[in-house]
Amino acid sequence: MGPSVVTFVWIAVFGGSALYLDQTQGGGIADRVVSDPASGMFVFLEQFPLALPMSILTLAVLWIFFVAGSDAGTIVLGSLSTGGPPEPRRWIKLAWGLAMALIAGILLVAGGLGALQSASVLTGVPFAIIMVLMCVSFLKHLRAEARETARRESGESDLTVPRRTGTSPAGSQVFTAEELPPGHGRQANPGDPRREER
C-alpha cells in the first residue's frame, strides 16, 4: 500500500471513530481539538482502555515518523546541494538536519504551530508550481517519444527486401530457383541427380 492509501485508511478509521464518539458519547473531542489540535489524538485515546500505553505507543510512532521524514529530507537536500550523489557525506546531512530543526524551532517559538503551518504552505507553493511544470515537461517528452516511435515503425515498414543475388567463387552470377534465366531449367542427370545442365 502506498502512503496515500495508508492516509485514507488512517483518516477513515481514527477520524470516523472520533466523530462517532464525540456525537454519541459526548467525549469533548471536538472542543479539545479546536482549542489544541495537537492533543486531539490523546483525548481520543482516553475513550478506550489502556489509554496510557497507547499514548506512549503513539508518541513512539510519531517520533519514528518525524525522524524518518527528516532523514529523507536531509539526504535529498544534501544530494541537491553537492551535485547529486546518492549518499551525501554525514556532516552535510547533519548540517541540513540542524538547519531544519533550527528553522522549525524559531517558527514554533515566534508564532506557534500556526506560524509553522503558514510557513509550510508558503514554501510549498513554489514547489507546487515546479511540480506542475515537471508534469507538463514529462507529458511533452512522452508525446515526442511516441511520435519518434511511430516514425521509426513507419520507416521500417516502407523498406523493401533486396533481391538475393551474389557471385560464385568463380565469379559467375548465382541465381536462385525463381531467378534462373529463361531456358535454363533443371534437367535430370543419371550420374548425379543434383547436377544442373544448361
For the chain, give the mean pLDDT.
Answer: 77
Show the beta-strand stretches assigned E in 66-197.
Answer: 166-167, 173-174
pTM beyond 0.95: the answer is no
Q: How far apart are the first and last CA of the chain?
A: 77
- Residue range 75-101, pLDDT digits in tens: 988 888 888 788 888 899 999 999 988
Rounded distance, CA 188 to CA 46, Å?
104
- Residue range 144-194, pLDDT digits in tens: 999 999 988 887 655 544 555 555 455 455 444 444 455 554 444 555 555
In the DSSP assignment, the letter for residue 104 is: H
